[in-house]
Structure 1
């Protein structure tokens, strides 16, 4: 048994933990990182990277089947599902060296491939080692939540941790859960030739603005995805190749494969948090605004901290913790400027308040400006005119933006910048966007805010009239 000492101990080599370790060691701290499973965590191995790779395969198939409107013959795509999964594996392999043990050791991080458990407020046991650390960062992420639905224990099912290893194309994929993971995988599999049914106990894409979410759901239904909302799973029965899901209102859905995509749970079971005096909530580890746990020497970041569960949020948390743990600076996490996106086609993106949230918070002071993709020339040229942007504005300052449409995940970046820095619509309107781009949609949304003030104002017209009379 070795007794080790370090400045920063990072538990978990997902996106958040890797960011802390890389930043801290390059700024001169001594860093040890524990990882008992795969380097890169969920994002690289089971989440963001493989899902977007499979979505890309689905897009390629869909483009072949719908090329006729561009003057190119449409063809029925020949989908090799196993080869699509090879593409997924190749994408993971190409990115993996960036997150590898070798790279981080080359930076100066000591990487120990073991799970860790607390044995005191400042010590952890990892395999044969006991590590004492001045500061500890828990970045253990989350895992698929599988609810205790009767019968599920005897029926084979997939989660995002197993789906990308599946080589046999599902004949009819049943997906329990209508959130981002469920809807992305529904469309990808439908485009790859599977029948797909999504079974959602409440409302599909229910965290997003209902109007923009409806645009996405309508598009998926048009492609042939069956979406059953208000369908709470009651029983599961069957066997491999023949699965049935009975919902509370008596409906029964039948398919060949089952994907459980109902949510995530924080990975805390192995940590023995009680030994360190660290409290938890139903969502994860309890943290304050500075991401400190109830043990002041220990931080929790990313999914395990119980907030928004996105890779970019974990990276944001990592930056805050580096400032606090290395420099002793006060930090306070904010959430109002944190965007998210669902990578269906059309995409769906959100930052800040939805329209409903903004109305509840600001009442009559709220203005909602809208611009439809159908009026964007680049969208018309590429036949991607289904879409809408909504910007929620209070006294000239945006408080939220909702976008459904082509490149929504890219367009939302501007509004995340605006909210993060407290910018006004005037500053967006002053931007010059190249023509013709999808990005002009953001500029036109700002124009939609100012147009009534300029073109419908009697005062403006009087001033223009006076100036024209006096100009030589």
Structure 2
């Protein structure tokens, strides 16, 4: 036996599984056809957040009346230098990961894996034998008939985001997480941006609070982004420009753009892996079915990340990888009850748990506590008083959900996620002190209001 564990795919889920299994003393290999870090580190999460955070500095500086803007009153962006910074961040993270893999003796095998039977992985002409296997092959964009990708001016999100330069007019299909983040990025670069969303609201993400979606829509529109909801659209031509025909319940029009970014449509990657021979079950969409221990229907095979369907996020992939690695190493582990979601829009968004509408539909009696960010001193000191924080609380004080739109929301939501995972009630949190002045005080304020009364 060459290895105790072979991980197919070196994205964040596969890396987490490999490192955790190796920490338990297992002999581990990773087979990766491209770059360690997968989509998240090389093309998606890390580069997008690096770019978005950088260009948002322009927005912050522009609205700060006390910062001099020069004779023309405009700030400028050196996109070439920013791209170089982005690449340096990616290289640094890849280097850190390689160091950790080396530290625990994980063997990295470059190449495309083929699996035709249990216990064997073929890479090129070499066949390696393994006791257990972790499938972490991710997902890829698919070309949809109404929005055919052409590699030129109709692109998937990550191809568009990694362009060396962006043309003046961008049309984004899909107002979900990727659509909102890319709209933020391109508008901050001074581009004309239009979002086409089929559903009647922005961010039609399961469990997303409607008030958050409405607040994000208003903020993006303030920034000059055009948002068309209930938009039945398709590309009618994509020669020099991309032309869309768009129909809504009340209108019909044609919209042109220099670049179209299609943020809808992905599928799990399982090519080269004979799941039937492995006796690994898939759902009707082709995603691998796993339980809360990341186990498939074959007890020798685990699967993590996008290839398992559900929420296609690095947050889930990383945790699922840790769970798989723990269980392979003999430590009982399972997926958490709550998975926070962070969206890096012009105003950050954080959510965890269920919305009040979802809970009421389930017959659960709950109430909301909402704190406007303008009530929090730190939000005023950083000149970002827009937005709000919301707790959804049951009769027993249990927190069923939390939502925030505002400065630092992607960080704040993790605090509430931890409390929810530990089953803390608002009464449990009441004595907890948050340092002042901080954005996280908004959690304390919501708890104070739920238990006793208003402080700010």
- State the TM-score, normalized to the length of structure 1: 0.89
Residue 272 of structure 1 is matched in structure 2 by 274
Residue 290 of structure 2 is matched in structure 1 by 287
**Residue 48 (structure 1) shift:** 0.7
CA contact (8 A) 2:34 2:110 kept: yes
Give me the whole-angstrom Cα distance separating, in 1, the residues matched to 2:223 and 2:103.
48
- Aligned partner (choices 307, 321, 324) of residue 321 of structure 1: 324
Q: State the Cα deviation string for residues 336-356 of structure 1 (Å, max 9, x = none).
A: 311011011211111111121
CA contact (8 A) 2:183 2:225 kept: yes
Residue 28 of structure 2 is matched in structure 1 by 31
Judging changes above 3 Å, is the alpha-carbon distance between structure 1 residues 283 and 385 closer, same or farther for their aligned structure 2 residues?
farther
**In the TM superposition, what are the counterparts of 1:437-456 in structure 2 within 5 Å?**
437-451=438-452
Q: Say whether 1:89 aligns with 2:87.
A: yes
Q: State the Cα deviation string for residues 207-255 of structure 1 (Å, max 9, x = none).
A: 1211012111111110011111111322341224x11111344322211
Judging changes above 3 Å, is the alpha-carbon distance between structure 1 residues 106 and 434 closer, same or farther for their aligned structure 2 residues?
closer
- Other structure's SS at 2:227 match: strand
Residue 149 of structure 1 is matched in structure 2 by 146
Residue 177 of structure 2 is matched in structure 1 by 180
Residue 309 of structure 1 is matched in structure 2 by 312
- Other structure's SS at 1:182 match: helix
Judging changes above 3 Å, is the alpha-carbon distance between structure 1 residues 59 and 154 closer, same or farther for their aligned structure 2 residues?
closer
**Residue 170 (structure 1) shift:** 1.4
- Other structure's SS at 1:161 match: helix
CA contact (8 A) 1:121 1:295 kept: no
Give me the whole-angstrom Cα distance separating, in 1, the residues matched to 2:189 and 2:245.
26
Q: Say whether 1:80 aligns with 2:81.
A: no
Judging changes above 3 Å, is the alpha-carbon distance between structure 1 residues 119 and 152 closer, same or farther for their aligned structure 2 residues?
closer
- Other structure's SS at 1:244 match: strand
Q: Say whether 1:227 aligns with 2:230.
A: no
Residue 464 of structure 1 is matched in structure 2 by none
Residue 49 of structure 1 is matched in structure 2 by 46
**In the TM superposition, what are the counterparts of 1:253-268 in structure 2 within 5 Å?**
253-268=255-270
Q: Say whether 1:138 aligns with 2:128.
A: no
Give me the whole-angstrom Cα distance separating, in 2, the residues matched to 1:10 and 1:36.
12
Residue 210 of structure 1 is matched in structure 2 by 210
Give me the whole-angstrom Cα distance separating, in 1, the residues matched to 2:215 and 2:151.
37
Give me the whole-angstrom Cα distance separating, in 2, the residues matched to 1:30 and 1:103.
14
Give me the whole-angstrom Cα distance separating, in 1, the residues matched to 2:158 and 2:276.
28
Residue 251 of structure 1 is matched in structure 2 by 253
Q: Say whether 1:343 aligns with 2:344.
A: yes
Q: Say whether 1:372 aligns with 2:372.
A: yes
**Residue 283 (structure 1) shift:** 5.8
Higher helix share: 1
CA contact (8 A) 1:151 1:237 kept: no
**Residue 76 (structure 1) shift:** 0.9
Residue 404 of structure 1 is matched in structure 2 by 405
Residue 158 of structure 2 is matched in structure 1 by 161
**Residue 362 (structure 1) shift:** 4.1
Give me the whole-angstrom Cα distance separating, in 1, the residues matched to 2:185 and 2:149.
25
Unaligned runs of 5+ in 2: none
- Other structure's SS at 2:112 match: coil
Residue 459 of structure 1 is matched in structure 2 by none
- Aligned partner (choices 113, 124, 129) of residue 121 of structure 2: 124
Residue 389 of structure 1 is matched in structure 2 by 389
Judging changes above 3 Å, is the alpha-carbon distance between structure 1 residues 136 and 219 closer, same or farther for their aligned structure 2 residues?
same
- Other structure's SS at 2:52 match: helix
Residue 171 of structure 1 is matched in structure 2 by 168
CA contact (8 A) 1:345 1:406 kept: no
Q: State the Cα deviation string for residues 3-61 of structure 1 (Å, max 9, x = none).
A: x6211111110111111111222321111110011111001111111001110221122
Residue 108 of structure 1 is matched in structure 2 by 105
**Residue 85 (structure 1) shift:** 2.1
Judging changes above 3 Å, is the alpha-carbon distance between structure 1 residues 175 and 200 closer, same or farther for their aligned structure 2 residues?
same
Q: Say whether 1:20 aligns with 2:20.
A: no
Give me the whole-angstrom Cα distance separating, in 2, the residues matched to 1:370 and 1:209.
12
Give me the whole-angstrom Cα distance separating, in 2, the residues matched to 1:298 and 1:213.
39
CA contact (8 A) 2:12 2:318 kept: yes
CA contact (8 A) 2:19 2:325 kept: no
Give me the whole-angstrom Cα distance separating, in 2, the residues matched to 1:25 and 1:99.
14
- State the TM-score, normalized to the length of structure 2: 0.92
**Residue 330 (structure 1) shift:** 4.7
Judging changes above 3 Å, is the alpha-carbon distance between structure 1 residues 153 and 257 closer, same or farther for their aligned structure 2 residues?
closer
Aligned residues: 445
Give me the whole-angstrom Cα distance separating, in 2, the residues matched to 1:389 and 1:366.
16
CA contact (8 A) 2:235 2:242 kept: no
CA contact (8 A) 1:15 1:43 kept: yes
CA contact (8 A) 1:243 1:256 kept: yes
